[in-house]
A and B are shown apart, each in its own frame.
Chain A
Amino acid sequence: MSGYTGPALGARIGVDVGGTFTDLVLHDAAKNITRTGKLLTTPDDPSRAITEGVARILREAGLTPADVHSIVHGTTLVTNTVIERTGARVGLLTTAGFRDSLEIGREIRYDLYDLFLEPPPTLVPRHLRREVPERMAFDGEELLPLDEAALLREAAELVAEGVEAMAISFLHSYRNPAHERRAGEVLRAAHPAMPLTLSSAVAPEIREYERTSTACANAYVQPRMQRYLTKLEADLRATGFTGALYVMLSAGGIASLREAKEFPIRLIESGPAAGAMAAAFIARLAGLDAVVSYDMGGTTAKMCLVENGAPDHKYDFEAGRVRRFAKGSGLPLKVSVVDMIEIGAGGGSIARVDPGSGLMKVGPRSAGAVPGPVCYGRGGTEPTVTDADLLLGRLDPAHFLGGEMALDQGLVQRAVEQGVAAALGLGVAETALGISRIVDETMAAATRMHLAEKGRDPRRYTLIAFGGAGPVHACNLARLLKMKRVVVPLGAGVASALGFLVAPPATDAVRSLVGRLERLDYAAINALYAEMRAECEALLLEAGAARGAILYTPVAEMRHVGQGFEIPVPLPALELGPQHLSTLRHNFFHAYRARFSRVVEEAPIEALTWRLSAAAPAVHISLRREPSGAPASRGHRAVRFEGHGEVQAAILDRYALAPGQAFVGPALVEERESTCVVPPGAACHIDENLNLVIELP
């Protein structure tokens, strides 16, 4: 059932270290125990909260550290280091003539109309970017030998400048890494303690800016991550933990500490990946093969396509944007990540009247956790989406967060009136509904665009909703996208951490080799695949996979000669030859048509980049549990629905609902962290895994 080897499956623990909270989830299949825990993150030393949390959850479960088979860890430490600019002082060595590639970037203004836009950040300032005479050609031919004396001289100066890590990025090193590797040997011999990143090791892909940026970001976070992971392992061992410690990568696979220490940048999306893996797991449980997962929290909404039980991936990511939702305003990273869109639409998104057009806009600015929405009564004065949801009757002012926080409706009325309704000339209720409509339309537009880019039609998909605000807006979003079904798993706040327990060991490798299909150098490509396969296998064995159980998926990125965007094309085999040419062409046209609904048959095709994904089989855990036994009905409340006006909706206790139960909306299903809004006429039932399954009218 799983790819794990080693001791018989005991307890497994997932730990997600977020900016505010450290979340834990423990599952012991043999003893049928699933427990969750939450404590404040300890930013000065995150491993303190982890060891404390692990000890606490084990105590509550009646287990000891020795019973733990493995701990899977996800962290925002890498992301935060990049966002907060608290990484190492990095020195960069480049091919002579190209030290500015990192700062020149793509030469594009990410906002056409903003004369004063802030440029994307540069992690290594110019005086720490040094040049080394050497040069490879695009086909790997050496045009200029590596000047080792110059290399040593520049490196020594960087050391004198106090750099704490170094990166090397030479032109065309993805094609011929000999100079980078030799430079690495020379530097390691001269400066053995200096953390060193080779661009050809961390991201062996064509396009020097993106590869160099990735190498520098890896070097930037490496010293801190190495210290942190080393200490975390020692701390856990000190408590008597003898199992394996793994981390979650940005693509949703779990990996060994060694991979994490060598390529810490691969952890950049570690947390969000867990959420997507959880959604994929729920989709598999519910037998859904075409799903859009939708996670709406306080600040953002994230959508991800999940097909055939696995989230979609992409191979680049932008970190540390200076304008959070503006594409092109951050650092490009060539890392494998779960392909998610993130937009500025959350419960805390602020509604305001735009001074230019006089129309209402919602988000992307957010009230965040502090001061938070007006209704929290913590000093927020600008009306938010959560405030609108409260006025519409969707949230219970007395039972928010299980009653821990009483919401102040009067305050909200005034804020909506003075903040937006008066300027729009509308009533408060109408304005509240407007806030909700606008944020829903924003999310729908972003989802439509994301699916359109992949040639997908949203009508075929089921929406799986997570997050505090997700279940509140899910049915409206689904309606706008003409989706027929919405699934809401139990425990919106915990669901994401499940991802750590259901993710398999997985990794991927990549190489670039440009060639037209009819002129492919099969021997060279097969050699690359042999290399990649060995690399992946070694990593996965370390991450606990069984040798025979690894599944390899080769994909090449191709395009027509002359185009600038590649599309991923599945390959028929790990070893290719001329006999595969027609299949390669066929697969390309198939993928092209799926995306663009047309093909250009006569135009020649070229492949640029070759990828290999490797994964052990997914892990299954049981979510079944007994309903609380309390009566489900909590009475009725007036709720405003678009197109229905104000109607009386049944209020149901999520924890009391049992598999097989069914009802028809209007209804509100309340649980601790969220409320699911079921519109009039929608049919809802509880499936065997306690998911709410809503069929829209």
Chain B
Amino acid sequence: MDPITLEVHWSRLISIADEAATALLRTAFSTIVRESNDFATVLMDASGNSVSENTGGIASFSCILPRTTRAFLERFPPGTWRPGDCVITNDPWLATGHLPDITAVSPIFYRGRLVGFAGSIAHSPDVGGALWGADCQEVFEEGVRIPPLRIMREGVWNADVLEMFLANVRVPRQVQGDLEAQITANTVCAAGVVEFLEDSGLDDLAPLGAALAERTDLAMRRAIAALPDGEYSAVQEADGFDAQTTRIMCTVRIAGEEMEIDFAGTSEQIARGINCVMNYTHAYSVYPVKCALDPFTPRNEGSYRAITVRAPAGCILNPAYPAPVSARQLTGHLLAGAIYRALGPIMPDRIIADCGGAPTMRCLFSGLDRHGDRFSQVLFASGGMGAAPMRDGLPTTAFPTNAGAGSIEAFESVAPLVVWQKQFRPDSGGAGRMRGGLGQVAEIEVRAPGPLRLSLLSDRREHPALGMLGGAPGACSDIRMSDGTRPHPKSRTSIGPGMRLTMSYAGGGGYGPPGERDPQALAADIRDGVVSEAGARAYRA
């Protein structure tokens, strides 16, 4: 196929995935989908190879979806699919690493023949079990596990399964609404593909997909080949659970145009929900490499062929069933920092310092509001991003995830809570030639008639975001009640009316020696009150 036609087809296929994403995003009920962009839509060929992905969404999800689809194909061989089918799963090991994410895949038929699959992933409003708990001991406590099954056969719901599932969730109407939104997205994608095949005169996606994958594979290989061969390693630690500190041991081997990322030596899996399955480990390893080496080539099946990711079975990055995995992001989000620390010395101008927002820190309030209606509301807010070689870290911005934040006015109008402050946290950015991004402080008062349940998912209480190449670490996170107590950072507790919770989000690490900071930039930080006179000492030592 000539390069012009290839480009024209590629941009068309990406726009089909984007149209599907728009349909999903606009009709989803899940605030997690909306505010954290916790979703993806992927167009695949009939073997489950990714052909194109939506532009926004969670980068790691689109990398996992084809793997899940290939698992579906083992259970449901190509000949068994019919138009109007939809297969779903939320199995952590087959899909995205924890139960709340539902993967839905629909077949695409063209002139009576199976030519591809439309897939979507979305974080469901609920899957039963322990709502937002990192403290479970087995996956069974964390919610309903759906093995790959046909939730829809030829356009008709699998009513028994649906009823069984909905009977186990807190907000069945919304859960079904989001399943419908995913199916709508798949339908939009399938219709787009059929129209594309008609317009282009092609009768299958596979040869086109293979030609596109060759392009992306080549782009990544070229970028890897430009790096010096060798073995580079780094250790990254995190709070883990209670006394069990998480220790990520990361070794990156570069040989010619291939890269191997090996986590041998990493902590064992634990009986708490911060284990990170291999699919998630893989996705959060290749994503930061893509950002650093080849950020602008669109993604498909070829993008990550040159990269191998290994983690020993039974470690926290490759846990065995039935390990609890609900808060796997608390571990998976650490990998970008580990990989950048390993590669920093050989590509200092293409990476950033460790991020305060890795992992994300969340508080979820649930209970009854003033009208007696049940509510459940997450405060979305991020710590500071690590400093870059040429500029300060972005304040209050997440990486490697891309969770946004909603409005406090909107937050207060749907939950019996008042937020008394949400502002920058001075001195939280790690000192450096380039300063780490600022974290923030949010103070929330409960104004419900009765006590509310409070779920906390956080890390970095003891382990700050580290600096890069001489930069200082950012400030640690902190969570405090108005009575002065510090709740367990990964716990489910309750909080009474009138109580206030103060969440202090971690800052990003600095880049380069603090003594090399431009004095004018330091003076501006002091004038703006983001670095105090005391904080400025870190730059003058």
- Residues on A lying within 8 angstroms of B by beta carbon are 96-101, 103-104, 106-109, 111-116, 118-119, 125-127, 135, 137-138, 143, 171-172, 174, 206-210, 354, 356-361, 424-426, 430-431, 433-434, 437-438, 441-442, 445, 448-449, 452-453, 480, 514, 560-565, 595-598, 600, 602-603
Contact B413 A127 (CB under 8 A): no
CB-contact partner of A360 in B7, B12, B352, B402, under 8 A: B7
Contact B3 A109 (CB under 8 A): no
B304 at the interface (CB under 8 A from A): no
Smallest CB gap from A206: residue in B: B409
CB-contact partner of B390 in A116, A453, A514, under 8 A: A116
CB-contact partner of B382 in A107, A424, A426, under 8 A: A107
Contact B26 A106 (CB under 8 A): no
Smallest CB gap from B357: residue in A: A107
Smallest CB gap from A106: residue in B: B404
CB-contact partner of B420 in A97, A115, A437, under 8 A: A97
For A106, list chain B residues within 8 Å (CB): 404-405
Contact B7 A361 (CB under 8 A): yes
Digit string of B391-431 for contact with A (CB within 8 Å is 1, else 0)? Answer: 10011111100111111111011100011111110000000
Instruction: Report the Cα distance A90→B398, complex, angstroms.
Output: 29
Contact B388 A137 (CB under 8 A): no
Beyond A127-B528, A602-B173: 11 further Cβ-contacts under 8 Å?
A: A106-B404, A114-B291, A143-B418, A208-B408, A210-B407, A354-B297, A356-B294, A433-B4, A442-B11, A445-B11, A563-B34
**Most central of A118, A426, A452 by chain B CB within 10 Å:** A452
Instruction: Report the Cα distance A118→B27, complex, angstroms.
Output: 31
B205 at the interface (CB under 8 A from A): no
CB-contact partner of A206 in B31, B296, B413, B529, under 8 A: B413
Contact A438 B413 (CB under 8 A): no
Contact B395 A104 (CB under 8 A): yes
Smallest CB gap from B442: residue in A: A97
CB-contact partner of B528 in A104, A116, A125, A208, under 8 A: A125
Nearest-neighbour CB distance to chain A for B333, whole angstroms, equals 14
Known: A137-B418, A357-B219. A565 touches B184 (CB 8 A): no
Contact A113 B296 (CB under 8 A): yes
Contact B405 A562 (CB under 8 A): no
B262 at the interface (CB under 8 A from A): no
Contact B173 A603 (CB under 8 A): yes
Smallest CB gap from B530: residue in A: A126
For B409, list chain A residues within 8 Å (CB): 138, 171-172, 174, 206-208
Smallest CB gap from A437: residue in B: B8
Contact B216 A357 (CB under 8 A): yes
- Residues on B lying within 8 angstroms of A by beta carbon are 2-4, 6-8, 10-12, 15, 18-19, 22-23, 25-29, 31, 34-35, 37, 55-56, 59, 125, 171, 173-174, 177, 180, 184, 188, 199, 215-216, 218-219, 222, 290-292, 294-298, 350-352, 380-382, 388, 390-391, 394-399, 402-410, 412-414, 418-424, 440, 443, 527-530
Q: Across the A-B interface, how many residue pairs have beta carbons closer than 8 Å? A: 214
Known: A113-B295, A115-B351. A562 touches B18 (CB 8 A): no
Nearest-neighbour CB distance to chain A for B289, whole angstroms, equals 11
CB-contact partner of A116 in B7, B388, B419, B529, under 8 A: B388
Instruction: Report the Cα distance A589→B316, complex, angstroms.
Output: 48
Contact B184 A597 (CB under 8 A): yes
Known: A98-B421, A112-B56. A452 touches B4 (CB 8 A): no
For B188, list chain A residues within 8 Å (CB): 452
Smallest CB gap from A96: residue in B: B421
Q: What DSSP secondary structure best describes chain A's contact surface?
A: loop
Instruction: Report the Cα distance A437→B22, complex, angstroms.
Output: 25
Smallest CB gap from A445: residue in B: B15
Nearest-neighbour CB distance to chain A for B420, whole angstroms, equals 5
Instruction: Report the Cα distance A115→B125, complex, angstroms.
Output: 30
Nearest-neighbour CB distance to chain B for A387, whole angstroms, equals 16
Nearest-neighbour CB distance to chain B for A320, whole angstroms, equals 18
CB-contact partner of B423 in A99, A113, A125, under 8 A: A99
Contact A171 B218 (CB under 8 A): no
Contact B215 A357 (CB under 8 A): yes
CB-contact partner of B394 in A119, A126, A562, under 8 A: A119
Instruction: Report the Cα distance A99→B421, complex, angstroms.
Output: 9
**Most central of B171, B188, B297, B381 by chain A CB within 10 Å:** B297
CB-contact partner of A600 in B59, B177, B291, under 8 A: B177
CB-contact partner of B4 in A119, A138, A434, under 8 A: A434
Instruction: Report the Cα distance A424→B6, complex, angstroms.
Output: 12
For A100, list chain B residues within 8 Å (CB): 422-424, 440
Nearest-neighbour CB distance to chain A for B22, whole angstroms, equals 6
Sort A-B residue pairs by CB-CB distance and give the 9 closest, nearest first: A97-B421, A434-B4, A356-B297, A108-B404, A356-B219, A445-B15, A126-B528, A113-B295, A207-B407
Nearest-neighbour CB distance to chain B for A93, whole angstroms, equals 15
Q: Can you list 16 A-B contacts with CB-CB less than 8 angstroms, sorted by A residue number?
A: A97-B419, A103-B424, A112-B56, A114-B296, A116-B388, A116-B391, A119-B397, A137-B418, A171-B408, A360-B4, A434-B3, A438-B4, A438-B8, A562-B171, A563-B27, A563-B34
CB-contact partner of B15 in A108, A135, A449, under 8 A: A449
CB-contact partner of A115 in B199, B218, B292, B440, under 8 A: B292
Smallest CB gap from A592: residue in B: B27
Contact B218 A358 (CB under 8 A): yes
For A116, list chain B residues within 8 Å (CB): 352, 388, 390-391
Instruction: Report the Cα distance A389→B125, complex, angstroms.
Output: 51
Contact A207 B410 (CB under 8 A): yes
For A361, list chain B residues within 8 Å (CB): 7
CB-contact partner of A426 in B4, B18, B408, under 8 A: B4
Instruction: Report the Cα distance A106→B36, complex, angstroms.
Output: 11
Known: A106-B404, A207-B409. A565 touches B290 (CB 8 A): no
Contact B174 A109 (CB under 8 A): no
Nearest-neighbour CB distance to chain A for B43, whole angstroms, equals 14
For B23, list chain A residues within 8 Å (CB): 452, 596
CB-contact partner of A438 in B11, B35, B56, under 8 A: B11
Contact A127 B527 (CB under 8 A): yes
**Most central of B6, B19, B29, B31 by chain A CB within 10 Å:** B29
**Most central of A114, A174, A434 by chain B CB within 10 Å:** A434
CB-contact partner of A564 in B34, B184, B390, B530, under 8 A: B34
Contact B402 A108 (CB under 8 A): yes
Instruction: Report the Cα distance A98→B409, complex, angstroms.
Output: 11
For B8, list chain A residues within 8 Å (CB): 437-438, 441
CB-contact partner of B407 in A111, A208, A356, A442, under 8 A: A208
Instruction: Report the Cα distance A171→B422, complex, angstroms.
Output: 12
For A448, list chain B residues within 8 Å (CB): 15, 19
For A101, list chain B residues within 8 Å (CB): 408, 422-423
Instruction: Report the Cα distance A453→B55, complex, angstroms.
Output: 16
Instruction: Report the Cα distance A441→B12, complex, angstroms.
Output: 7
Instruction: Report the Cα distance A233→B22, complex, angstroms.
Output: 46
Contact A560 B413 (CB under 8 A): no
Contact A603 B174 (CB under 8 A): yes
Nearest-neighbour CB distance to chain A for B55, whole angstroms, equals 8
Contact B351 A209 (CB under 8 A): no
Contact B296 A356 (CB under 8 A): yes
For B296, list chain A residues within 8 Å (CB): 113-114, 354, 356
For B397, list chain A residues within 8 Å (CB): 107-109, 119
For A438, list chain B residues within 8 Å (CB): 4, 7-8, 11
For B381, list chain A residues within 8 Å (CB): 107
Contact B35 A562 (CB under 8 A): no
Contact B422 A98 (CB under 8 A): yes
For A138, list chain B residues within 8 Å (CB): 409, 412-413
Instruction: Report the Cα distance A565→B27, complex, angstroms.
Output: 8
Instruction: Report the Cα distance A598→B23, complex, angstroms.
Output: 11
For B11, list chain A residues within 8 Å (CB): 438, 441-442, 445
Contact A600 B180 (CB under 8 A): yes
Nearest-neighbour CB distance to chain A for B468, whole angstroms, equals 12
For B199, list chain A residues within 8 Å (CB): 480
For B7, list chain A residues within 8 Å (CB): 359-361, 434, 438
Nearest-neighbour CB distance to chain B for A209, whole angstroms, equals 6
